[in-house]
Amino acid sequence: MHLPDKFFKERKLEYLVENQTSYTLNNASMHVFETHLQAEKVFLQFDQPVLASMLIGKKVMHLRDKKSFNFLPGESLILPSNEVMCIDFPEANEENPTRCLAMAISDEKINKVINLMNEVMPKHDGTEWVLMDYNYHFTNDASIYGIIQRLLYLFTENHPSKDYFVDNMLQELIIRILQGNTREKYMQNASKISSNNRLAYVIEFISQHLHEPLSVSDLSKKACMSESHFHKTFKEELGVTPIDYINSERIKMAINLLKDPDRKIKEIYLECGFENRSYFNRLFKRKIHVSPGEYQSKFIKH
């Protein structure tokens, strides 16, 4: 993820540890933190919910109710209001500074989006969309990455309408994060909640039958929904179509199997439920950016 050139032209580098450059709009503020020295136990706190995203370098995060973990580029973290972060910078130096984005979003904006979601895309089990009150650490997918990159540009742009532009991007960001969080909860807790949640039941069924043919028609019957209603409900709550979800899980399975350099690629794609090599190759390269063969070659011992 890249900071716009305009950021470097305008920012003042006053501190070597957590130098802060801030941009404030009506419903959100964006802060870019840069650290040019190794440091430990640096504390940071916001009075609004925050999206933190790593841009460059590595942090070690220490948060309440969570084991310490490495925070790396391509990852984001949702923090509730007033969460205290304790941060280590084990690798920062002047040549390779650590850079991180922290975007504080107003409660008013978040509640407005959540109310809209509950009105136009209510959950199938009758529960309501709410902002998580815990720390949610995740890897950015392509859509989240694109939104954050766009927000970096919009906040630094001198445009008279940028408040409106940012507002629209924030709405999409909040919706996608909540959908991703729901998807993650279903994946982690499917067996516990599948008896009284139809989507969780389908998620568990998919995980146990990835090697078999899976169709939206069959899955909708498992969920006791019409095919069109199932497809719409799945996409609105989890943020992806059923087929995209199945393919994503199959690619994850293939990634693990390809770590064995002695396995034949044909065996692997068939074991993961793909019917032909070209479709498997295309999906794998789209997600991993290398072919299955190139990925597997990394694990050959020389």
The pLDDT tens digits for 216-268 are 999 999 999 999 999 999 999 999 999 999 999 999 999 999 999 999 999 99
Higher pLDDT, 302 or 90: 90
**Tokens encoding 299:** 């694990």
Which of 148, 181, 214 is the endpoint of a domain? 181
Query: 186-198 b/e with 16+ CB inside 10 Å = b?
Result: bbeebeebbeebb
Q: Residue 281: inside a domain, yes or no?
A: yes
Whether residue 7 has pLDDT greater than 90: no
Query: For the chain, what is the domain count?
Result: 2
Q: Per the domain annotation, does 38 fall within a domain?
A: yes
Both 40 and 89 in one domain: the answer is yes
124, 199 Cβ separation under 8 angstroms: yes
Question: Are 163 and 294 found together in one domain?
Answer: no
Domain that holds residue 71: 5-181
Mean per-residue pLDDT over the chain, rounded: 93
Tens-digit pLDDT profile for residues 48-68? 999 999 999 999 999 987 889
* Residue 219 structure tokens: 């899955």
Residue 301 confidence (pLDDT): 78
The answer to whether 60 and 70 have CB atoms below 8 angstroms apart is yes
Question: What pLDDT is stored for residue 222 in this prediction?
Answer: 94
Q: Would you list the DSSP string of 213-280?
A: ---HHHHHHHTTS-HHHHHHHHHHHHSS-HHHHHHHHHHHHHHHHTTSTTS-HHHHHHHTT-S-HHHH
Give the per-residue pLDDT at 228: 96
Share of the chain above pLDDT 70, in %: 100
189 within a domain of the structure (yes/no): no
Residue 241, token pair as written in the block: 């179509």
Same domain, 148 and 201: no
Residues 244, 166 share a domain: no
pLDDT for 200 beyond 90: yes
Last residue of a domain, one of 147, 181, 215: 181
- Provide the angle, in degrees to the nearest 10, between the axes of the packed helices 198-208 and 227-238: 90
- Copy the structure tokens of residue 101: 């984005």
The neighbour count for residue 216, using CB atoms within 10 Å, is 16
List beta partners, residue 19: 34
Band the pLDDT of 13: cuts 50, 70, 90. Answer: confident
Same domain for 287 and 255, yes or no, is yes
For residue 157, being part of any structural domain is answered with yes
Q: Please write the tens of the pLDDT for every residue from 86-109.
A: 999 999 998 899 999 999 999 999
Residue 45's pLDDT band, with cuts at 50, 70 and 90, is very high
Residue recorded with tokens 């948060």 = 63
Same domain, yes or no: 53 and 111: yes
Residue 146: pLDDT above 90? yes
pLDDT at 302 over 80: no
In this structure, what CATH number is given to the domain that contains residue 223?
1.10.10.60
**In the predicted structure, residue 279 carries a pLDDT above the cut 90:** yes
For tokens 């050959």, name the residue: 300
The reply to whether 15 and 135 lie within a common domain is yes
Measure the CA–CA gap between 96 and 98, rounded to whole angstroms. 7
Q: What is the pLDDT of residue 156?
A: 92
Residues 270 and 219 in one domain: yes
- Predicted model pTM: 0.89
pLDDT-derived band at 170, boundaries 50, 70, 90: very high
88 touches 59 (CB < 8 A): yes
77 and 142 part of one domain: yes
Cα distances (Å, whole numbers) of residue 133 to 76, 79, 80, 181, 235 = 16, 8, 6, 12, 24
Q: Are residues 171 and 226 in the same domain?
A: no
Q: What is the pLDDT of residue 14?
A: 84
Which residues, in sequence order, are bridge partners of residue 149?
Answer: none
Strands (E), the chain: 19-24, 28-35, 39-45, 50-56, 59-63, 66-71, 75-79, 84-89, 98-105, 136-139
80 residue type, one letter: P
Query: What are residue 3's phi and psi, to 5 degrees?
Result: -80, 140
121 pLDDT more than 90: yes
